[in-house]
């Protein structure tokens, strides 16, 4: 078994070796949750068709990342909601 510190050290080493930059901003999915709150959508509506459709559109945008990376995450989320 490994200690917690050994796991942390190994993860830190891996991140340093691979030069991972984990300082990215909020994703379109984060904004989708935020907008749902601003639109005062309750949990039932968030699980409804519009929210699921918007979430799926956001997921599909990941397949075309070179095209969509030029847009802000908030714009992608808003576009998915109102599509």
* Distance between first and last Cα of the chain: 50
Q: Mean pLDDT score of the chain, rounded to an integer?
A: 85
* Structure token pair of residue 48: 């409804």
Report d(CA 82, CA 50) in Å as an integer: 9
pLDDT in tens, 33-54: 888 878 776 666 666 788 889 9
pTM of the model: 0.64
Report d(CA 41, CA 2) in Å as an integer: 44
Q: Where are the alpha helices (DSSP H) in 1-83?
A: 4-18, 28-38, 43-46, 49-61, 65-68, 73-81
């Amino acid at each position: 078994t490994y200690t917690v510190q050994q796991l942390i050290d190994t993860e830190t080493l891996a991140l340093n070796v691979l030069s991972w930059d984990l300082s990215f901003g909020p994703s379109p999915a984060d904004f989708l949750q935020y907008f749902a709150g601003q639109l005062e959508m309750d949990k039932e509506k968030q699980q409804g068709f519009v929210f699921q459709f918007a979430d799926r559109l956001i997921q599909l945008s990941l397949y075309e990342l070179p095209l969509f990376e030029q847009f802000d995450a908030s714009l992608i989320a808003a576009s998915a909601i109102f599509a």
